[in-house]
Structure 1
Amino acid sequence: MHKDTDWANPPRRRHGCLALIRNEEGQVLLVKPNYKPGWQLPGGGALADEDLLKACVREVAEETGLPISPTVVLANDYVSATPESAEGFNVVFDGGVIPSETPIQIQTEELEGHRWVGLDDLDNYARPQQAARIRQAHSAATSTGGIPYLRRGELAG
């Protein structure tokens, strides 16, 4: 749970900003939150009036220490409200490919750890809807290359 979000009174609509970060072997970087079950892509929620790309870059840096500079969206995933979370959208940005030995500094306040996971092993880590989101984003990254993220009609970056 992020300090800047009051989950007792969640926002009416949450904008999740996630990054698909891959290593040379095609595995994806997952992080393990300490406040809910399962593993997920690094990232988090955008603050009020915060650009989604900037939120993704900020959240990934806070959670992993990795400096990413994505400009491409790989997936947009609508998520209906549940008793545990607000309605919202999760935007998955292409966080690029990094060497698996790259140092990752996990934010221990919110995360228990990180792991490189192959697509065939996702179901052992991520909840079904998240595993499906990751597979769709990975497919976009390796086939279509995703879609550009724009700010006022110009490529963000």
Structure 2
Amino acid sequence: MSDFSADFELDGEPEREFHPGVAKRMAHKTVAAGALIRDPDGRFLFVVPNYKPFLDIPGGIVEPGEPPSAACAREVGEEIGLDRPVGRLLLVDWTPGRGPWSDQVQFVFDGGVLEPAAVIRPAADELTGFRWATLEEARADLRASVFRRLSLASTAIATGRLLHAEYGHLLSGA
């Protein structure tokens, strides 16, 4: 994680609440970060979580005080045992809360191309495995919103643009 101590010093003392308790009552969103990792044939690396019925990309929840890029690298290491550099940010997507999950801001980073010799070790406490597939091949095993999100992330790779979406739908003007 980055050391922000110099930035804290430049900003000065933390703000004091004029009305104690206001900050605690404000909404808190979940933030998640994942890596779009590809193989030389252009297929995506999907993980098979043991806690939900759909495929996903390697990644997870950003811890308090942790930058999304650091969380992405940490989660990739924890979930699949790879120490990979986190590439550029491809997409920021907001998803509404549904079921047990709160609404989230999702960051998708470029995980680069993984060489065939790389060893993937799925974390047994979170995953039942992994799968290489194109988006179309994986479509039936992805939530519709995740398919839309990853389609946009793929577009971001191809165009070199950073995209902004809500529930997997590109915002106009983005």
TM, length-normalised to structure 2: 0.74
2:54 maps to 1:38? yes
Tell me which of 97, 109, 114 is aligned to 1:93.
109
Cα distance change, pair 145–64 in 1 and its aligned pair in 2 (3 A): farther
State percent identity of aligned pairs: 32
- Cα distance in 2 for partners of 1:34, 1:116 equals 17
- Cα distance in 2 for partners of 1:139, 1:68 equals 22
Tell me which of 68, 72, 76 is aligned to 2:88.
72
2:158 maps to 1:125? no
Structure 1 ranges of 4+ moved more than 6 A: none
Unpaired segments ≥5 residues, structure 2: 1-26, 164-174
Cα root mean square deviation, aligned? 1.6
- Cα distance in 2 for partners of 1:35, 1:62 equals 16
Contact 1:18–1:44 (CA<8 Å) still a contact in 2?
yes
Which digits, 9 at most, give the CA deviation of each residue in 1:79-105, with x for residues without a partner?
111122011101000010012442100
Q: Which has the higher strand share?
A: 1
Letter in 2 for 1:68: R
Q: How many residues align?
A: 137
Equivalent in the alignment of 1:140:
156
Letter in 2 for 1:48: P
Alpha-carbon offset, residue 33 of structure 1: 0.6
Matched position secondary structure for 2:34: strand
- Cα distance in 2 for partners of 1:128, 1:80 equals 13
Alpha-carbon offset, residue 143 of structure 1: 2.2
Unpaired segments ≥5 residues, structure 1: 1-10, 148-157
TM alignment of 1:46-85, pairs within 5 A = 46-85=62-101
- Cα distance in 2 for partners of 1:43, 1:34 equals 14
- Cα distance in 2 for partners of 1:23, 1:145 equals 21
Matched position secondary structure for 1:84: coil
- Cα distance in 1 for partners of 2:103, 2:69 equals 20
Whose Rg is larger? 2
2:32 maps to 1:19? no
Alpha-carbon offset, residue 30 of structure 1: 0.3
Alpha-carbon offset, residue 113 of structure 1: 0.5
